[in-house]
Amino acid sequence: MSFINNATKFYLLTNKPIIFSNEEEEQSFEFFPPSLETLMTNENLASLINFLEQDLDDLAKTINKEVKSHYSYLHLVFSLAEKIEVFKNMSKSILKGFQVLIHNFDFRNSFVIDDIFVDRKLFEDIIEVLFLTIEKEIIIIKEEEDEFTKAEKKAKLRAQKIKNNSKTNKKGTKIESMIIGVIHEFPQYKIKDILEMNLYTFYYLFSYIGKISNYEIGQIAVGNGLLKSKKHKHYIE
């Protein structure tokens, strides 16, 4: 069973649900990219994202057993939820996090979306789409990949872990300041509109703030003869 989806960075700018479909089985479901407001306020979605960013070796330490994927670890957690209290709380939170994205996502002895069985491949496709919508990189080692590709990804994961461990606590631009910047540069948007955007769209608009301002300043300078060159680079590269 193979599902395809229409998730692209260009499509994310439409702020519409992403469609996963399997034409052979005539099955489909919608994935709702989380809005900026949801990402800022929904603790269950935050728990899901934090879990998916955890290293498999670290997860293995919690159960004293090798963990081959986040999918297999979660399956174990959900299966034992009624017997182990900490797994029960974890499974409830993560399930609610998934249901923010896919409303009918559930666990009934296995992960399902309505009557669609969610195998490891579909699960990992969903996770890749999630991280695309929130502008984060994720490296997933897939079962069907050859050994060279797996080894290459493992090396990248080790490098990523070292990089994350060496990060300082320097604060970047606060989200509130970014929102004000977008409203100032794009006055057609109100705060409500921005909070309803997915994160990719918001970052996309924010990335053009400086470019547009510099372009407008350059236009004025050229018009006043303040630039030696008449060439003026457009902000759209």
Residue 211 pLDDT class (50, 70, 90 cuts): low
CA 88 to chain centre: 25
Q: Is the dihedral of CA 118, 122, 124, 126 positive or negative?
A: negative
Exposure string of 86-111, with b = 16+ CB inside 10 Å and e = fewer, is: ebeebbebbbbbbbbbbeebbbeeeb
Q: 29 - beta bridge partners?
A: 20
Number of domains present in the structure of the chain: 2
Residues 102 and 24 in one domain: yes
Residues 77 and 12 in one domain: yes
Q: What is the pLDDT of residues 69-127, one digit of tens each?
A: 999 999 999 999 999 999 999 999 999 999 999 999 999 999 999 999 999 999 999 99
Residues 102 and 52 in one domain: yes
Answer yes or no: is 184 within a domain.
yes
Cα 29 from Cα 105, distance rounded (Å): 10
Cα 12 from Cα 16, distance rounded (Å): 7
What is the pLDDT, as a whole number, of residue 126? 96
In terms of residue numbers, what domain contains 186?
175-223
Question: Which of these three, 87, 117, 139, is where a domain ends?
Answer: 139
Residues 17 and 104 in one domain: yes
Answer yes or no: is 169 within a domain.
no
Q: What is the pLDDT of residues 175-208, one digit of tens each?
A: 888 898 899 889 999 999 999 999 999 999 988 8
Q: pTM score, two decimals?
A: 0.81
Residues 30 and 79 in one domain: yes
Q: What is the pLDDT of residues 132-141, one digit of tens each?
A: 999 888 877 7
